Chains A and B, each alone.
Chain A
Amino acid sequence: MNRRRFFGFLQKEFRHIFRDRRTMLILFGMPIVQILLFGFAITNEIKNVNVAVLDMAHDDVSRDITNRILSSEYFHLYQNLNSEKEIETAFKSGKVKEVIVFENNLAKNIYAKNLGNIQLIGDATDPNTANTIVAYTRAILLNYQQELNKGSKPPAIIQTEVRMWFNEELKGVYLFVPGVMTIIMMLVSAMMTSISLAREKETGTLEALMVSPLKSWQVILGKVIPYLVLSFSITLVTLALSMFVFHVPIRGNIFLLLGEVLLFVITALSFGILISSIAPNQMAAMLISMMGLMLPTIILSGYIFPIDNMPVPLQVISNIIPARWFISMLRDIMLKGAGWSVVWKDTCVLAFMAVVFLFLASRRFKMKLR
């Protein structure tokens, strides 16, 4: 009898969720759109940048360098310029991001004086991009220079070779996938549960249920399970999308990863229940979860802004944000392939938070009015 009661409640909750098509669409659509946006559009990578070349040398060296630059996948020749005056018009057209200028008699200068000049002009209206573009070009030039020096006796040069481990190509999407997953899970778990419980308060249905033999833990569990299923499946969709479309690697154990996902969902859900036990209506529940949850999660979790760069007080505050621990675990497992020995501490912190939230929520949420 008791079980039938609980399943009746559970069935009702699933009905609420599936009937609300618009919310479902948003919940499933948002992570997909976000991942696609971060993967394709918002990127710091350089690819097919339009450059213009002002070649005043017209000799072997200038042609050789131009070919090298253009044969990389990073650059695309937009136009050849004939005079310095044309540089400005080229930039103003908005298409050209960099102009490469070869001086007169470049080859001659190099062989005779051991010094040739090439000017790189970046469009610094977007300083970050300009910097990156120029750096890429210089790398190619440096490469060429080394090859030139091969025959002759090279001066001793200390080379720095930079490698970006775990994300060799500095792909933005690697960074954003854990973040987007976290935000979505927070949103679905905490916000949706708190709103759904607050709605029952608002419409008086909760008061009617209080008179029923349902126990408070049954109501809480009945609210939690559907959203647990929902956010877990959304997470799977997000993961699959980032794996198959953007080839984000999962270097660690997938089951460890899913386990941590589950733990985080439970933490967020218990926080949601806690919110709804405080909030008198849907509006308040939404505001609290927005202000108290979403904003700190986005800003302080290290999702967008690195925690190490924050002022010390904010670094301290970031410790109480569950997402902070979760994101760092996700990055460890997905990108570094870390195992249990690395993430157990973060796991404990998260588990502790879940227990505290659940304890507080179950103390506050009673089948009674105050």
Chain B
Amino acid sequence: MNERVIATNITKSFRSTNALDDVSFTVNEGELFGFIGPDGAGKSTLFRILTTVMNADSGDALVDGFHLKDEIAIRSRVGYMPGKFSLYPDLSVQENLEFFAKVFGTTVQENYSIIKEIYVQLEPFKDRRAGKLSGGMKQKLALCCALIHKPRVLFLDEPTTGVDPVSRVEFWEMLGRLKQSGLTILVSTPYMDEASRCDRVALIQKGKILDIDPPGVITKKFPLDVIAVKSDNMQKLRKDILKVEDAESVYGFGEFLHITMKKENSSIEKIESLLKQQGHQHTEVKLIEAGIEDCFMHLMEHNKN
């Protein structure tokens, strides 16, 4: 397989904080690779270094076959959408696109085929100012602007932050189609639920990569049982649940509490009897498959030690 991005031991610190600590990974051609982690994990810094916008303290990377110091070569081969990127609100949709095309030394016509599928949705609004677009539309336009010079590797820094759920789903579908055309895509997101959309994900926390694998593999190799619990009195449940033996950790996930515990057959019965004893009504206790978020929490806990 062809490697498009090979990062080796990238380290970067700002004053006393380690933004990136010895980060290494590879991304293959045509892969949709996700960096999942909370704010401040170092995702943006990593993208900035890989697009040569920022210098690393140490370590190197090969981006589309070029070393990081070969800035001009890399810059002409990557598409980059910064995290806070928000286009020029006073220019129209078309003007924004044409501007980025010109600056990158191409024309909209020349590379129209790449963005066509996305841009047709924007075409009815092409004379509207970008500032007046909805969040989802803005994101699509930004993606077009990052694609217009036909990059070989695309870096998207938190493209779905602040976008409504429907547009988010749409956005990921677009990325899926782009990937099929052979484009290598690196995308970062703080939303754990988006991990399943990626071919492989890197879980990143405090500048360190905790795990890299396809999302299905990461959840499969989760060593514990996850049990979702719900009752009519969640506040009391939170306290009571700590009395369960062998509970490794308890986290709130929406309307459920997730309890992780060692794999054994009788855990559900154990919890149910405890809840009855404590007088909980309308209870629901079920064994579920671990999600990326469960894995993330688990890895985080273990990495502390």
Taking Cβ atoms with an 8 Å cutoff, the residues of A that contact B are: 1-2, 4-5, 7-9, 11-12, 15-16, 19-20, 203-205, 207-214, 367-370
Q: Please, which residue of chain B has its CB at the minimum distance from the CB of A369?
A: B54
Q: Is the CB of B145 within 8 A of A8?
A: no
Taking Cβ atoms with an 8 Å cutoff, the residues of B that contact A are: 48, 51-55, 72, 75-76, 78-91, 95, 98-100, 102-105, 145-146
Q: Is the CB of A207 within 8 A of B85?
A: yes
Q: List 19 A-B contacts (CB under 8 A).
A: A2-B105, A5-B102, A9-B103, A11-B99, A12-B88, A12-B99, A203-B84, A204-B83, A204-B86, A205-B87, A207-B84, A211-B79, A211-B80, A212-B75, A213-B75, A213-B105, A368-B54, A369-B53, A370-B54
Q: Is the CB of A208 within 8 A of B85?
A: yes
Docked CA distance A214–B101 (Å): 12
Report chain B residues within 8 Å CB of A20: 90
CB within 8 Å for A210 and B103 given contacts A203-B86, A204-B83, A205-B87: no
CB within 8 Å for A208 and B72 given contacts A12-B99, A214-B103, A369-B54: no
In the complex, which of the residues B82, B91, B98 contacts A208, with contact meaning CB atoms closer than 8 Å?
B82
Q: Is the CB of A8 within 8 A of B99?
A: yes
Q: Please, which residue of chain B has its CB at the minimum distance from the CB of A16?
A: B90
Report chain B residues within 8 Å CB of A203: 84-89
Docked CA distance A20–B89 (Å): 11
Docked CA distance A17–B51 (Å): 30
Q: Least Cβ distance of B112 to chain A in Å?
A: 17
Report chain A residues within 8 Å CB of B48: 207, 369
Q: Is the CB of B53 within 8 A of A8?
A: no
Report chain A residues within 8 Å CB of B82: 204, 207-208
In the complex, which of the residues A4, A19, A208, A210 contacts B90, with contact meaning CB atoms closer than 8 Å?
A19
Report chain A residues within 8 Å CB of B102: 4-5, 7-9
Q: Please, which residue of chain B has its CB at the minimum distance from the CB of A209?
A: B103
Q: Is the CB of A210 within 8 A of B86?
A: no
Q: Least Cβ distance of A294 to chain B in Å?
A: 25
Docked CA distance A1–B103 (Å): 9
Docked CA distance A205–B81 (Å): 9
Q: Least Cβ distance of B253 to chain A in Å?
A: 32
Report chain B residues within 8 Å CB of A209: 103
Q: Is the CB of B54 within 8 A of A4?
A: no
Docked CA distance A16–B130 (Å): 13
CB within 8 Å for A207 and B90 given contacts A4-B105, A212-B104, A369-B48: no
